[in-house]
Chains A and B, each alone.
Chain A
């Protein structure tokens, strides 16, 4: 996604009209003026908040008209001793581990199917992709009903099989798993289209050549198709990781982090601490942890992805 070669191509991209000295400063001025409106908003709502998060996490909450006082690492010390924080972080790791591999594998499977000669494939593509355009909040409402104890569809199905009734969202063992299922259902179709695009750009001659040489379909997929899809897989992977730390809408609707914090993810906890307990100093410290995680993902992506893919 990022592009670091802007510098090297600066010379080539020099504006087409004159390069005499009086004209040159005009290029700088025009360039910055064009960028200015977007830059003001970006600095105000992205760069400033990142810096302010760090700053405010080192102060106490302002109280009764008095500004917060410098507390150094106190908020971070409280965080280390906060069992809920560790619980939430663990939940988030489980949530990521549950959603990412499954949604990517399913997306790939869907793409291969929809790309192949399967009967009714446009209808299948529709079924797979539709969850993507629905609001997560609406999806969560639908699934909430699906999971309802007693008369939800899931209970009716398990009832038919003679299984005992179970409160899927209400028990600690199954609640997070239920959210994983919803997320996979919502995301797999979205990731599918990237695989579909990649598959369609592969040369059909590759498959023909392999068939001539008697390679089996699975062998061909494993040794040729899958390696060729690697850039797509990495791109999808980065998106899936970011989403697992960014998407919490369904938690607000389905569990509110419960039961007993079993389904609270990091961003949901930040929301809880910051806007229900109004402990904004602690929320800032928690946000910083989230920012560090996202920065690590960015760095990982830079090291893995940008070596291979160039956008010039």
Chain B
């Protein structure tokens, strides 16, 4: 083996170790009693105490329900709206199509994340502040989803479309029977990206929620960990791991799908 190759392998592993370090540190702290949180002794006893304490100290069960509902709600609406819009852009030469498509693409650059001031005003006028709808609505028509599906629908052979029409299927039935099944991998990719985005989203939910009834996990975690009463890092790290747990476990189980989905979604 060339010395260069050995050097590179060592370098790669050092970088990998560096990348794993913060998470490894968090795992250590969360699973050990707090007196060991900064002392690294091999024989330190393992415990789930920190998780139990964190779970009892804040309404995390409610936050989990909120986040799950939010993520499911956003994804469901996104899938329907983006499918319909993408179908229109891919297969209907309606007047103003090019201009409308450009207007959709604006959202790729100017995401709802930066329009917090005006969108807050709108939510307040609609009277839905502090609800899951207020968190989700700005994201439901996703330019990214429309773009991704339009690209996919354009690759569907016209013969299949025609065959369905000949059998007497209308526009929506053709969409449902021909286009949607063929785009399945794209739907999975988009779904994974959307779920992890909204599971992790923080600033906008922080702004529009102010009660346990609507707070998602990320905001709940922040409320929990920013209370300054003798910070017990073991409990905070346990809560931190708990909130990212489901996503992390899903990622470890379906690593290949995750990486491929992010790849597919990014390259489009």
Contacts and interface: CB of A to CB of B under 8 A. Distances in A.
Interface of A: 1-4, 6-7, 10-11, 13-17, 27-32, 34-35, 37-42, 44-50, 52-53, 56, 106, 109-110, 113, 116, 118-120, 123-139, 141-143, 145-146, 148, 151-153, 156, 185, 189-190, 193-194, 196-197, 235, 239, 242, 245-246, 248-249, 252-253, 267, 270-271, 274-275, 280, 283-284, 287, 290-291, 294-295, 297-298, 311-312
B42 interface: no
28 contacts: A1-B105, A6-B89, A10-B93, A28-B92, A31-B88, A32-B94, A35-B89, A37-B80, A38-B85, A44-B122, A45-B138, A47-B103, A53-B117, A56-B121, A130-B19, A134-B23, A135-B218, A138-B244, A141-B221, A142-B23, A145-B25, A156-B38, A185-B22, A242-B111, A249-B202, A253-B225, A280-B121, A283-B117
B68 interface: no
Q: Which 5 A-B pairs have the closest CB atoms?
A: A31-B94, A31-B92, A49-B118, A41-B141, A135-B200
Interface string B237-259: 10011011001100110010011
B249 to A, nearest CB: 10
Given A113-B12, A141-B225, A284 B85 contact: no
Contacts of A145: 25-26, 29, 233, 236-237
A42 B20 contact: no
Interface in B86-121: 87-95, 97-98, 100-121
A271 B110 contact: no
Contacts of B115: 45-46, 49-50, 53, 287
Nearest to A113: B12
Contact of A132 (B12, B137, B233, B262): B262
Report whether over half of chain A's contact residues are helix, strand or loop; otherwise say mixed.
helix
A143 B38 CA distance: 14
Nearest to A296: B109
A84 to B, nearest CB: 17
Contacts of B225: 141, 253
A44 B123 CA distance: 11
Given A7-B97, A42-B103, 4 more contacts: A1-B268, A44-B137, A197-B263, A239-B266
B84 interface: yes
A34 B97 contact: no
B102 A127 contact: no
A215 to B, nearest CB: 15
A44 B141 CA distance: 10
A16 to B, nearest CB: 5
A194 to B, nearest CB: 5
Contacts of B140: 41
A141 B137 CA distance: 28
Nearest to B165: A17
A185 B243 CA distance: 20
B176 interface: no
Given A13-B91, A185-B19, A136 B116 contact: no
Nearest to A145: B233
A14 B114 contact: no
